[in-house]
Amino acid sequence: MEVNVLNLLTQKSRMTWLLIAVLAVGAIAIALGGVLSPGFSWQIVIWATVVLGLTVVNVTLLLVVLRKQITIARRHKKLIEKNARRSEKTLRRVLEQTLRSALAKEARTNERTFHQVSEIRKILRPKTSPVSVSTIRSAVVPPGYLAGVLIVKDEASDIQEWLEFHRLVGFEHIFAYDDGSFDETPMILEDYVKQGFVTQIPWSGSLPSVRRQVAAYAHALTVFGHDWRWLAFIDADEFLFPTEADNLPSVLKDYEHLPALAVCWRMFGFSNHIVRPQGLITECYTMRAPVPPEPDVKPGLLKFKSIVDPSKVRGVETPHRFALADGVAGTYMESGNLVGEGRLGDMSGDRIRLNHYYTKSKQDFALKVSRKAASETREPARSLFVTERAERIEEHLIEDTAIHRFLPDLKSAMAESPAKQRKPSGSGLA
């Protein structure tokens, strides 16, 4: 660096050096000429001396400037080296912080998985009422393409419709976690266990309902996930179906490159029913809140459920969102965009829909609110939230009968099913 600066200064001062040399030679020539010539004049000698003196001063100043420039170049070199060392330290610190952050994130994920496993153990082996894994009711279930994971509690009035509908649209098996039903739900499930369509798992305990649901999902992924290409995690008041195709597997084959697929809620309200109507849920409730790109959308109603590839999932974040194997927490829309709760983006759902019959009739909804108030320690805040969400649904409604194309086959399947249609002891509420 020092040599380069000196060379540069030398090149730039080449003309100055040449001028100095010319002045010096001229001064010497004038002096010699004056001395040797017959008309010697001391005035010529004085002028030559002045020129030579100016030359010496110029050379001296140039040397001083060169010395200063060299000093500056040395300082600049030291500054560059110091900045390089500082940049190296900064880069090392950033890399260390990034590594620590990644390790901390991995530790949190592992800790969350550990807690989920602990909660599973608490539910399967509670102190007050031991439940053994041997109480799981199931026929031999071969590996398959699409299965559902469902939590049920007192769903006797609607569970047959839910099971027959999802069998109709391509589900090969349902893993039903019974959260302590008091009605005839377990007996109806037993009918489907005998058919080989349902695995019934007792799943009640002292954990809050959301944590029990997350623990159940983690259990399903761990125990049953390796046998299935897709697992859909939905509730008993949610009906999943293709918008145009005859069945879901034919649509899901186009999304096998994704670890998880989000299906957004279509939130259905009372549909003018005060008391529970005679007929199927999918037939009687036709009025719902809009979703994008429809007008008058209510942001508080925008949520989704997930269909996941168990081999690419390593944990359950919430009942809606999963921790994927690549470290991402979320799921993907049909468009391929990654989403999480609160940031959905595209919600068109052109190929797969999820009808969420949130309220059903006003009679059903009143029972739903009272049950949540009795089971949740966070009440009355939770009951107020449920009520406010129902009010938002009713603020603006549009008619949606897209699911009705399955009704003829659904009614035939329910009529032919070996499962008995028992008189319900209460409405099915999730």
Q: What's the CATH code of the domain at 234?
A: 3.90.550
Lowest mean pLDDT among 113-117, 293-297, 354-358, 414-418: 113-117
pLDDT computed for residue 273 by the predictor = 97
Given 31, 63, 92, the domain boundary residue is 92
Does any domain span residue 157? yes
Q: Are 305 and 238 in contact (CB under 8 A)?
A: yes
Lowest mean pLDDT among 17-26, 136-145, 282-291, 363-372: 17-26
- The amino acid present at 156, given as its one-letter code, is A
Please tell me whether residues 366 and 274 are part of one structural domain: yes
227 class by beta-carbon count within 10 Å (0-12 exposed, 13-18 middle, 19+ buried) = middle
pLDDT computed for residue 13 by the predictor = 55
Please tell me whether residues 19 and 139 are part of one structural domain: no
Does any domain span residue 120? no
Lowest mean pLDDT among 17-26, 204-213, 291-300, 355-364: 17-26
**100: alpha, beta or left, given left = phi > 0 and alpha = psi -120 to 50?**
alpha
pLDDT computed for residue 73 by the predictor = 80
Mean pLDDT to the nearest integer, 233-246: 97
Please tell me whether residues 169 and 280 are part of one structural domain: yes
Structural domain boundaries, residue 9 = 2-92
Q: What are residue 266's DSSP bridge partners? A: 355
Does any domain span residue 263? yes
* pLDDT winner (highest mean) among 105-114, 134-143, 158-167: 158-167
CA atoms within 13 A on the CB side of 237: 21
Q: Give how far the C-alpha of residue 351 lies from the chain's centroid of Cα atoms, to the nearest Å.
A: 21
Please tell me whether residues 252 and 358 are part of one structural domain: yes
Q: Are 308 and 259 in contact (CB under 8 A)?
A: yes
Q: Are 165 and 138 in contact (CB under 8 A)?
A: no
Does any domain span residue 106? no
Please tell me whether residues 15 and 162 are part of one structural domain: no
Please tell me whether residues 280 and 334 are part of one structural domain: yes
Q: What does the alpha-carbon distance between residue 50 and residue 56 come to, in Å, rounded to a whole number?
A: 10
pLDDT computed for residue 283 by the predictor = 97
C-alpha closest to that of 344 among 333, 355, 352: 333
Please tell me whether residues 396 and 247 are part of one structural domain: yes
pLDDT computed for residue 35 by the predictor = 55
b/e per residue 388-410 (b: at least 16 CB within 10 A): ebbebbeeebeebeebeebeeeb
pLDDT computed for residue 37 by the predictor = 56
Residue 84: pLDDT band (50, 70, 90) is: confident
Please tell me whether residues 190 and 290 are part of one structural domain: yes
Given 41, 75, 92, the domain boundary residue is 92
Does any domain span residue 101? no
* pLDDT winner (highest mean) among 28-37, 203-212, 371-380, 408-417: 408-417
Q: Are 313 and 221 in contact (CB under 8 A)?
A: yes
Please tell me whether residues 18 and 140 are part of one structural domain: no
Q: Are 354 and 347 in contact (CB under 8 A)?
A: no
The model's pLDDT over 29-82, given as tens digits with 9 standing for 90+, comes to 666 655 555 555 566 666 666 766 777 777 777 777 777 878 888 887 888 887
Mean pLDDT to the nearest integer, 15-23: 61
* The pLDDT of residue 426 is above 50: no
Q: What does the alpha-carbon distance between residue 186 and residue 198 come to, in Å, rounded to a whole number?
A: 11
260-268 and 304-308 beta bridge pairing:
antiparallel
pLDDT computed for residue 68 by the predictor = 80
% of the chain beyond a pLDDT of 90? 45
* Angle at alpha carbon of residue 154, lines to 219 and 206, rounded to 5°: 50
Say how many domains are in the chain. Answer: 2
Residue 329: pLDDT band (50, 70, 90) is: confident
In this structure, what DSSP letter does residue 276 have?
A: P
Q: Are 382 and 376 in contact (CB under 8 A)?
A: yes
Does any domain span residue 428? no
Token pair recorded at residue 382 = 């939770």
C-alpha closest to that of 236 among 63, 354, 64, 101: 354
198-202 and 173-178 beta bridge pairing:
parallel
The model's pLDDT over 388-420, given as tens digits with 9 standing for 90+, comes to 999 999 999 999 999 999 999 999 999 987 665
Does any domain span residue 105? no
Please tell me whether residues 212 and 344 are part of one structural domain: yes
Q: Are 154 and 181 in contact (CB under 8 A)?
A: yes
Does any domain span residue 359? yes
Please tell me whether residues 33 and 179 are part of one structural domain: no
Tell me the average pLDDT of the chain: 80
Contacts of 132 by beta carbon, 8 Å cutoff, 6+ apart: 124, 125
Given 37, 63, 92, the domain boundary residue is 92
Which pTM was predicted? 0.69
Please tell me whether residues 261 and 389 are part of one structural domain: yes
